[in-house]
Structure 1
Amino acid sequence: MLLLERLEDLKHHLSRCERKVADLVLGDPQAAIRESLAAFAARAGVSEPTVIRCCRALGCIGWPDFKLRLAQGLASGGGSGHSAVQAGDDAGVVLAKVFDAAILMLQRTRQAIDAAALEQATRLLAAARRIECYGHGASGIVALDAQQKFYRLGVPVVAYSDAHVHAMSAALLKPGDAVLAISQSGRSPELLGSAQRARAAGADLVAITVAGSPLAALATVAITVPAVAAAPGPLPGGSRVVDLAIVDALAIGVALRRTPLIPESTGLET
């Protein structure tokens, strides 16, 4: 795993001060490479030992070693892979940056996804008597898209983005039912509460979320995506693009298991 990806995955396990270091590096890795330890610590508003602790958490000996590995990753294409949108960029430049960001996130996610987990999730959803899709914010849009995809396959399915509604619905699920929960952080207390209720009711839980999150740990099967896919960049809500692609893969896989139709004849492309 590349250094920036490891830093993004590790960020949620760091202390508050160490997260300041992580956020500053992720926001502008090139600036971090150019700065001395003292200058970077001052800009982050933390002590120099805090910066060193963050470096060592990533397996680096210290600040110079961290900067060297960061520079090597950027040089090999392991950085953000795209330029941030700048004031004055015309529409064509913005379009190119947005597409580059989306392509990079999709490529990284494709390489990182566990094919066995995807297969297990597909079989579980294909066998489910009923599917409920939960998500908040941008993930709620993905949940609605999943509802549309599975509904076209003749699967009884609903999507909820209201925490109170999916909390009540989850408690009424039964063995043989399944929940598809989508969360960028995997740490939403409301979503976790509903996921726990669904599991307690005997339903299976498929999660699309980041590795190491509480939601991933709770799931029957978790399809985990690199946390770096949600890092700041020119694509607001960029993780949604990744999640929508995963939903498409699940829906087509379910279609292949529930019907003899080929993917082009399922209507999933519209």
Structure 2
Amino acid sequence: MGLVSRLENVFPSLSPIEKRITSYFMSHEAELVGKPILDIAQACDTSKSAVVRLCKRIGYNGYKELQTDLSAERALRQRDKVYERSDIYPQSSTASICTLITHNSIRVLESTLQNLDLSSMDKAVDALCSARRVDLYGVGNSGIVAEDANIKLRRLDFFTTCCTDIHMALVSSSTLNADDVAVFFSHSGTTSDILHILEVVKAQGALTVAVTCRGGNTLSKNADIVLETASSENLSRSGAMASRIAMLEIVDMLFSIIASRNYKDVKDILDHTADLFQKEHV
């Protein structure tokens, strides 16, 4: 989480002096990397120890660590500006395309992790682990992610159904109940087929989990648990790639957390499937 986000999260609970320092930090962020702590204390009419206390309050060991992290954060932002309006044009070089796609993927993965709501992730894991059945829904590009999630959960011995077709989705969703969980994959969160199935699932009483982009779309506003991804869709040709990678990151996180929590129960299953794959040279 970046400096400004940390400050915004704690601002309501800060003392008047801490709020004064916070306001200074936020309005002079560009200058903080090279500014001595004494200058900040004097500008805020307070002491150096008060500045250090605020730094520790938002997760840093002190002012120097804040400066180091902020310097790295600003370097990443500057790097991103080079690419944020880039696209793939006719006659683009092989090197530029490979660099663009790789950078965009890295940026999306970093941003998704940085803004991940760990509480929502834990709730999703708890729900999945206690579900009688798990349905996975996605269409088009998001359907690929749903299929990947299906394979991973099956490896953990979950009872799952993957639906990437609206007709199959209608049949499957109509048989869910309050003991089940339905996971919806949609980057935009506005896909009509997905929203229609969401209504059916909620009417059946099943718990709903949305894996979708940040921003408060229709899917996230109506799901019980939301796992948000970050993805820049400025890239008309590579945007779909970035959104898919971001959702796959969430799937890998869910799989790994579940496997870690239930390691004793799933170790033999994972080893067995791995042995089968090896024997079949898969």
TM-score scaled by length of structure 1: 0.65
Aligned residue number for residue 242 of structure 1: 246
Match of 1:102 among 105, 110, 119: 105
Structure 1 contact 98–234 (Cα < 8 Å) conserved: no
* 1:143 counterpart = 2:146: yes
TM-fit CA distance, 1:80? 6.3
Structure 1 contact 184–230 (Cα < 8 Å) conserved: no
Amino acid at match of 1:183: S
Query: How far does the alpha carbon of each residue in 1:243-269 deviate from its partner, in whole angstroms, 9 at most, with x for none?
Result: 00110101111222334257xx6679x
Query: What is the DSSP-based 3-state SS (H/G/I as helix, E as strand, rest coil) of the residue aligned with 2:156?
Result: coil
* 1:218 counterpart = 2:227: no
Higher Rg of the two aligned structures: 2
Q: Which has the higher contact order (CA 8 A, sep 6+)?
A: 1
Amino acid at match of 2:188: S
Match of 2:187 among 184, 187, 196: 184
Query: What is the DSSP-based 3-state SS (H/G/I as helix, E as strand, rest coil) of the residue aligned with 2:83?
Result: coil
Aligned residue number for residue 79 of structure 1: 81
TM-fit CA distance, 1:86? 3.8
Amino acid at match of 1:230: E
Taking the aligned partners of 1:114 and 1:128, their CA distance within structure 2 comes to: 21
- Percent identical pairs in the alignment equals 27
Taking the aligned partners of 2:232 and 2:239, their CA distance within structure 1 comes to: 11
Question: Unaligned 5+ residue runs, structure 1?
Answer: 3-71
TM-fit CA distance, 1:73? 11
Structure 2 contact 88–235 (Cα < 8 Å) conserved: no
Task: State the Cα RMSD in Å.
Answer: 3.0
| TM alignment of 1:1-270, pairs within 5 A | 76-77=78-79, 79=81, 81=83, 83-210=86-213, 211-226=215-230, 228-232=231-235, 235-237=238-240, 238-260=242-264
Query: What is the DSSP-based 3-state SS (H/G/I as helix, E as strand, rest coil) of the residue aligned with 1:84?
Result: coil
Of 228-237 and 181-190, deviating more is 228-237
Structure 2 contact 176–206 (Cα < 8 Å) conserved: yes
Structure 2 contact 83–100 (Cα < 8 Å) conserved: no
Taking the aligned partners of 1:78 and 1:159, their CA distance within structure 2 comes to: 36
Question: Unaligned 5+ residue runs, structure 2?
Answer: 3-73, 275-281
C-alpha change, 1:205 and 1:188, in structure 2 (3 Å) is same
Equivalences, count: 199
TM-fit CA distance, 1:229? 2.9
